[in-house]
Structure 1
Amino acid sequence: MRVRALMTAALAGMAMLATQTTATAQQAGDPLSEKQWGLAQLRAPEAWSTSTGAGQIIAVVDTGVDLGHPELASKLVPGATFAACGDRPAPCGNGDWRGVDGVGQASDVHGTHVAGIAAAAANNGVGIAGVAPDARIMPVKALENGSGSFEEIGAGIRWATDHGANVINLSLGAQPGTQLLTLLGQGAETKDAIAYAREKGVVVVASAGNETAPLCDTPSWEAGALCVAATDSAELHSVYSNLTLKSDMKAVAAPGGSSLNGCDGDVWSAVPRGTGSAECGQGDYDSLAGTSMAAPQVAGVAALLGAQGRNADSIEQALMKSARTPILGARGVFTPLYGYGVVDAAAAVAQPM
């Protein structure tokens, strides 16, 4: 059973799109922050006066990270590799995106992009700002060439839990229908690892999936994971995003991009140096869309909350109770499109402890 990274292909070309901008002092130090409409939708800059995520570690269990990227190099804690170890005992590497063979696969830019969304350095003179700019990143490579097994992912989750992660981000998912297999106890390594992490007080955030299906994909379907659907720059449910239905109803929404409106309609973040697409014109950065991009927005806000001294239950409750439902204007009300709503960092950090 294989699990894949969850992003959609960004369309070529620059569309004329009215997007929100951060309009904060971050722009002076992070040249691409004016394109980060997601930060404005999350109201992250308004939360930074209360918390920037200092002291929190976000484990990105994914395709690995470019360990030398200027957005991330100063933010990293030791990581590990569990994908494609072959005959070598796992972990067999340090979480670098190139993997044990030293070759960077095109699809493996994914983990660096996810890590940048969550916690890229701010005011460093290049690129973007992360949602939790003072949190640190733990790179855990559990996917090679964009996919991995439940066993590899589960091992990565357990390793991250045992090595100090406060938040685990899972921007990955299996095909719709796999939920039944895990309910029947098959492919349970990732499901059991999520339960283990949650028991240890770690917040687990996972992508809903990109199949326009009604249910959250596994692993976001599993108990203990917070399922995240995607929104576009107009705060509408993204056309590709799965809905937020799952048995425990732990689900929210966050900026994931449209996949229909060109580079600035999607989510800008770091990619391994030199791998940025020609269409979007930034060698070390790129714009991608998917629920993969939505989950680390929420992981970043979870780190802001964790830095306030909240435990995992309190973090989840603050995220869900303060989230807002577009159009309706309600907060903390469940709908199939948005779960409990679009995550609002400023309102979340103001929730009672």
Structure 2
Amino acid sequence: MSGRAAVAAVGAVVISGLTAVPAFAQCASPAGVYAESAGWAQRLTDASETWPLSDGTGQLVAVVGTGIDAGNAQFAPGQVVPGSDLGDCDGRGTFAAGIVGAQRVPDTAFAGVAPGARLLGIRYTETTTAGGEPSPDALAGAIERAVDAGATVVLVAVPAASTSPALEAAVRDALSRNAVVVSPAVGDQPEDRSYPTDLPGVLAVGALDESGAAVQGEAGDHLSLAAPGADLVGVSAGARGLGHRWGVDVPAFSAAYVAGAAALVRSYRPELDAEQVADRLARTASRPPNGHDPRLGWGVLNVNSAVTTELVDDPSALELPAPMPDVPTVRPAAGPPPLPDHSPLSGWLALLGIALAGLAVVARATIRLGRARGWRPGSDSWTWNDR
């Protein structure tokens, strides 16, 4: 099946656990309450260690797809913001929103990546009734609406199989207005393309299973990184209270994990622009052994590293000198290696180096503690983050 046909087929069904139910048959409903231990995808993307520093507070993540059912008990009151398209017969928007921001609650181990983030549900396709493939022009209007509402992260939960001038203009506008645009690759064949996934500046996400193998067939240089897209757990639409689906195999949901991580980075490092956030997520990914992988990008999402790693070329990093390039050591063709220098001067220089290294560690810890309390370099007072 081609990528175009694959997207159209997904658009014509309701996602219900592992089975595809005909669109006219029923709306999504929970399989029950997920009561087992955290699944592999949640363990891989576990962000709980970063929550004392950043839980996504202050960020608005737009979930562009089929709407959000805010009635699920894992969405906090008011977390799905006014202006959202409520109700989600198809279920994909709700499932993706839960991966981004579901709250930690009793009775289930499942929780979202960025529970402090607010969620804006935007429905641009009625996949339970329309049948055909999602319209790129309708998707363009949804992205424009998300950016106009102030979204700092735009998650395309349902990509299109083709592009259009309107969609390309909408993505350019979103990027110019400092929104991170995250979109999955869902094509079946290497030459297939999803949109806006393939457009410049979009954080393009591939999907993998628990073994580390790519799930989708779509491949190319446009892929930035990968995240889980098989055997997933998430919140279900149609729940009156707490309800989940699990064992879900949908590559498109990989982008939701990355969108949640983007919200964490934006919350903790507000000085970074959208391009720098996308670059940080790719650069801190767990690298594939042979460089860029055409189906997994630059590696697998590493949430904790994305938030906490200091990159020396980030505005948020300590201003340390760049490391010197590696220079091969050349020894004389004959004769023993030179003896170590035991002069008094060399001893003083060694002690000075140790002292400077200690000061650097103290400075880094002080700045990190300050950030956790809401302080930013350059301010003349301590302030507390709004919660």
Instruction: Tell me which residue corresponds to 2:287.
Output: 325
Q: Does 1:140 align with 2:156?
A: no
Contact 2:135 2:160 in 1 (8 A): no
CA displacement, residues 10-45 of structure 1 (integer Å, 9 cap, x when unaligned): 546xxxxxxxxxxxxxxxxx9657233212212423
Normalising to structure 2: TM-score of the pair? 0.66
Instruction: Tell me which residue corresponds to 1:77.
Output: 81
Partner residue of 1:256 out of 213, 226, 229: 229
1:317 CA drift (Å): 1.2
Change (3 A) 1:252 1:32: farther
Instruction: Tell me which residue corresponds to 2:176.
Output: 199
The separation in 1 between residues aligned to 2:74 and 2:41, in whole angstroms, is 18
Deviates most, 113-122 or 41-50: 41-50
Point out where structure 1 has 5 or more consecutive residues left out of the alignment.
13-29, 80-93, 99-103, 258-265, 276-281
Higher relative contact order (CA 8 A, sep 6+): 1
The separation in 1 between residues aligned to 2:46 and 2:74, in whole angstroms, is 21
1:283 CA drift (Å): 4.8
- Provide the alpha-carbon RMSD of the alignment: 2.9
Instruction: Tell me which residue corresponds to 1:242.
Output: 217
CA displacement, residues 75-123 of structure 1 (integer Å, 9 cap, x when unaligned): 11123xxxxxxxxxxxxxx40235xxxxx3xxx1111001101111123
Q: Which runs of 4+ in 1 moved over 6 A?
A: 6-9
The separation in 2 between residues aligned to 1:204 and 1:155, in whole angstroms, is 14
1:199 CA drift (Å): 0.6
1:126 CA drift (Å): 4.8
The separation in 1 between residues aligned to 2:206 and 2:35, in whole angstroms, is 24
Contact 1:97 1:141 in 2 (8 A): no
The separation in 2 between residues aligned to 1:346 and 1:283, in whole angstroms, is 28
Contact 1:244 1:252 in 2 (8 A): no
1:190 CA drift (Å): 1.8
Partner residue of 1:97 out of 80, 84, 87: 87
CA displacement, residues 141-163 of structure 1 (integer Å, 9 cap, x when unaligned): 11102553222211111111011
Identity %: 28
Partner residue of 2:200 out of 223, 226, 231: 223
Instruction: Tell me which residue corresponds to 1:130.
Output: 112
The separation in 1 between residues aligned to 2:214 and 2:244, in whole angstroms, is 28
AA in 2 matched with 1:160? A
AA in 2 matched with 1:335? D
The separation in 2 between residues aligned to 1:242 and 1:66, in whole angstroms, is 30
Change (3 A) 1:337 1:134: same
Instruction: Tell me which residue corresponds to 2:254.
Output: 294
Deviates most, 193-202 or 305-314: 305-314
Deviates most, 212-221 or 315-324: 212-221
Partner residue of 1:338 out of 296, 302, 305: 296
Number of aligned residues: 284
Say which SS state the counterpart of residue 46 (structure 1) adopts.
coil
Say which SS state the counterpart of residue 299 (structure 1) adopts.
helix
Larger gyration radius, structure 1 or structure 2: 2
Contact 1:243 1:338 in 2 (8 A): no
Contact 1:151 1:189 in 2 (8 A): yes
Contact 1:173 1:217 in 2 (8 A): yes
1:216 CA drift (Å): 4.1
1:324 CA drift (Å): 1.1
Instruction: Tell me which residue corresponds to 1:162.
Output: 148
1:315 CA drift (Å): 0.8
The separation in 1 between residues aligned to 2:42 and 2:99, in whole angstroms, is 9
Change (3 A) 1:303 1:283: closer
Change (3 A) 1:287 1:210: farther
The separation in 2 between residues aligned to 1:297 and 1:33, in whole angstroms, is 20
Contact 2:190 2:219 in 1 (8 A): no
CA displacement, residues 246-299 of structure 1 (integer Å, 9 cap, x when unaligned): 4xx451100111xxxxxxxx1111111249xxxxxx954344222221000000
Contact 1:273 1:284 in 2 (8 A): no
Contact 2:189 2:219 in 1 (8 A): no
Q: Does 1:349 align with 2:307?
A: yes
Q: Does 1:53 align with 2:56?
A: yes
